[in-house]
Amino acid sequence: MKALILVGGYGTRLRPLTFKCPKPLVEFANKPILMHQIEALVKVGVQEIILAINYQPDTMKEQINKLQDLYKVKIICSQETEPLGTAGPIRLAKDHIIKDNPDGLFFVLNSDIICEFPLDKLLQFHKQHNHEGTIFVNEVDDPSKYGVILADETGRIKDFIEKPQEFISNKINSGLYLFNVSMIDRIPLKPTSIEREIFPIMAKEGQLYQYILPGFWKDVGQPKDYLAGTVLILESYRTHTPDVLAKGNNIVGNVLVDASAQIDPNAVIGPNVIIGPDCQVKEGVRLKNCVLLKGVVINANSWINESIIGWSSTIGKWVRIEGVSVCGEDVQVKDEVYINQSFILPHRGITSNIYNKNTVIM
């Protein structure tokens, strides 16, 4: 089998982290977002993965080679010369998808999606109903914010309703699909929306089914959702692989710590914290609901809550950072500084308090 991952462009929603590296390579739970998806695809038997991209920086080429070697899977890039929407990239990659594909099936994933990736269940259900496409759907508490999916008891999709004002369904598109290769011919080679232009026709013809996604789901393409996704994946680890989580008298709730990180025993960590490789957390530090990427140093008695601290950044003593703040790569925060709901670009030094929300430090 094959798979296509819709990587897209510059990852503007996740800046300033994506100034350092392409969005699919930003670490989530201590490994690149893309790696979570590749692991799941390889596990279900995918042997070739196509990355649909708008641009390909050199850092991405290097990581692709490493991932190919690590997972023994072929990874190729299909690069758009103009944005083609959510369906056009599938048509552009047609030759890659159909070549040497005896199963005649291919997965499509949006690159921002994190879940438990039970792709084996999707594959089994798709083969059972034997039609052209299957969408993983997830259930939400407030469907009025989304376009919802109506389906019958067999899972056959009947209609798509945009942001209903009264309850008719709580199922929404999760951005994970499995198709027969025949569906590619439905897509013109031009900017096309799979959700608005392709799926309604497939549903009308009885060729599109839904399967309810078990476990958690989150689009982690922007900081607030990235942090919410961190909570969900840590709880999933607690349920399925609890041994990967940190333990200790100074650990509160679900915490993931890379083995190379150094944490003072008098620092209190958690809940919902991820600490990356080569990080240092000094005495008296308090971390909650936050992520430290590789090489971060948090000096004594600082407080970090609901924030992401980028690679190789150093946070001084008695610093307080909160309110979904994001520090890019190599940000240096001096002692006794307060930062609230701000976005700090790479290689900046912060020497004074930032009180105003949504401040961007260029």
163 flagged as catalytic: yes
3-state secondary structure (DSSP) of residue 61: helix
Nearest to 307 by CA among 272, 255, 334, 268: 272
Q: Are strands 255-257 and 147-151 parallel, antiparallel or unpaired?
A: unpaired
CB 310 within 8 A of CB 325: no
Which residue of the set 145, 163, 190, 224 is catalytic? 163
Starting at the edge strand found earlier in the chain, the sheet holding 342-344 runs 255-257, 273-275, 290-292, 307-309, 325-327, 342-344, 359-361
- Give the DSSP H/E element, type plus range, for residue 225: helix 223-240
Angle at CA of residue 358, ends 355 and 361, nearest 5°: 80
- Which tokens hold the place of 145? 């914010």
What DSSP string runs through 324-350?
A: SEEE-TT-EE-TT-EEESEEE-TT-EE
CA angle 237, 260, 31 (to 5 degrees): 45
Q: How many CA atoms lie within 13 A of 270 on its CB side?
A: 17
Look up residue 208 and give its two tokens: 């599109």
Active site residues per annotation: 163
